[in-house]
Amino acid sequence: MASFLWDSACFYDLALKAEQKFKTLNSGSSKTLMRRSLPLHIGKRSQSVCFFAAAPRLPKDAIFALTAECRDDLSPVKVNLGQGSYHDENGFPWVLPAVCRARRRLARLDLDHEYLPILGLPEFRAAAAELVFGTESYAAIRPRIATCQSLSGTGSLHLAGPLIRNCSSLNRQVWISEPTWSNHHLVFSSLGCQVRAFRYYNPEAKALDMNSYLDALRSAEPKSIIILYACAHNPTGCDPTQDQWKEIGEIIKERQLFPLFDAAYLGFRPGNFNKDTFSIRYFVNNLGLEAAVAVSFTKNMGLYGERVGATIFGQVRRDCTELAKIAAQILRDPFLRKMWFEDLKTMSNRISLMRKTLYNLLVKNGAPGTWDHFVQQLGMLGFLGLTHDVVLTDQYHIYLADNSRISIAGLNESNVAYVARAITECLQAASPTEEMSALASHL
């Protein structure tokens, strides 16, 4: 926790105004009493300097602000589809059974609170790298892997950035898909990188724009950094196929680009780690590329408040000792690891069911437009593809990101029909001309 002691200038102004008000309301004797009753010793304002006066006021994080707005909403019927966190069929956070078992095991051990090594818990770092690259490949390339414990995905990216900037021959250009998670831009622009965006999603086709993707890679300067989602692209849920990943990898190798994988959703598509790590393993194991991986266990282990992750290729950081030990227990123990994979299937299967249920209800309700794109997407998030004039919050108290990205895990049997009906009614209200045309054709 960080604490700041601010200057007393604003407090001085407040006290001065209070004193002036008392002067107009009280006599001289009461004025003296008032002054004696104020236990204040305020120095001259000219001696007070605020060193943070130039600090900019940053906007609130959009998703967290959305969650706060939903929490404060007094409506008895409301749905939060904004925050990308898993909830069970009753709408409650789910503590994974594998995490519960690992925590109980640790509780029986006589643990101390000694310093960890600078790079973090060794067994956690090794297990995370082995999981990402695969057991056989990890054994072969282990001498060439550097891993550091980090604060989840954001912290991992922030560790990778300075290392790339200060310790490599790569240039400052960082290519990021559009749309993407907002922190990608914030992290790398704050590090002084030249952020370049390329069109990833075709809103007309509601699908991955592969031609634009490949054109961007071919136009990037050699030694540029490319931010890639290992799987379950945020926010679109549209991933390249394995053949497309191979084509992407070949261009990256040919153009001497550096892939930095954001791996925050491993295991959610479709509860299969080998499929979700295909791009990373193919680039490193088959193409022999140097790469960095920002891996997070926040979502796939349900450790949202604890924020456990790793930067796989090295840097200096130490955090989240207890939760790293829980993650290490799960990753290293065959029984817990198998149990965790089953937990991932439980989560991904419920998400898939809710995705299909919402799709079926939208089609059944006659929601304007086509919805095939929604069931073709992967992962925890869904990209509805709604225009900005379709607002679900005011009338229906349904909260989602401005770009119509939703957290599928926020849906359950008790609210999915309500959400489908709300979307349908909003779309029908937004396209009255189409309804009039359909009516006129029957006259």
Tell me which residues are annotated as active site: 181, 262, 299
Q: Transcribe 122-162 into DSSP letters.
A: HHHHHHHHHHHH-HHHHHHHGGG--EEEESHHHHHHHHHHH
| CA-based end-to-end distance of the chain | 70
Q: Specify whether the CB–CB gap between 317 and 151 falls below 8 A.
A: yes
What is the token pair recorded at 42?
Answer: 């305020």
36-40: long-range contacts (C-beta < 8 A, 24 or more apart)? 40/15
Question: CA-CA distance, 219 to 211, in Å (whole number)?
Answer: 12
Residue 329 and residue 102 in contact, taking contact as beta carbons nearer than 8 Å:
yes
d(CA 312, CA 332): 17
The values of phi and psi at residue 261, to 5°, are: -90, 130
5-14: long-range contacts (C-beta < 8 A, 24 or more apart)? Answer: 6/50, 6/52, 7/48, 7/49, 7/50, 8/42, 8/43, 8/48, 9/45, 9/48, 9/50, 11/42, 12/42, 12/45, 12/48
User: Could you tell me what percentage of the chain is helix, strand and coil, using 3-state DSSP and rounding each to the nearest 5?
Assistant: 50, 10, 40
DSSP 196: E
Whether 233 contacts 155, CB under 8 Å: no
Q: What is the DSSP string of 294-326?
A: EEE-TTTTT-TTT--EEEET-------HHHHHH
Rounded to 5 degrees, what angle do the CA atoms 263, 265, 267 make?
110
The token duo for 124 is 């956690």
* DSSP H or E stretch at residue 243: helix 242-254
Phi, psi at 207, each rounded to 5°: -155, 170
Contacting residues for 132 by C-beta, under 8 A, at least 6 apart: 263, 266, 277, 280, 281, 293, 295, 312
In 3D, which of 308, 274, 306, 280 has the Cα closest to residue 293? 280
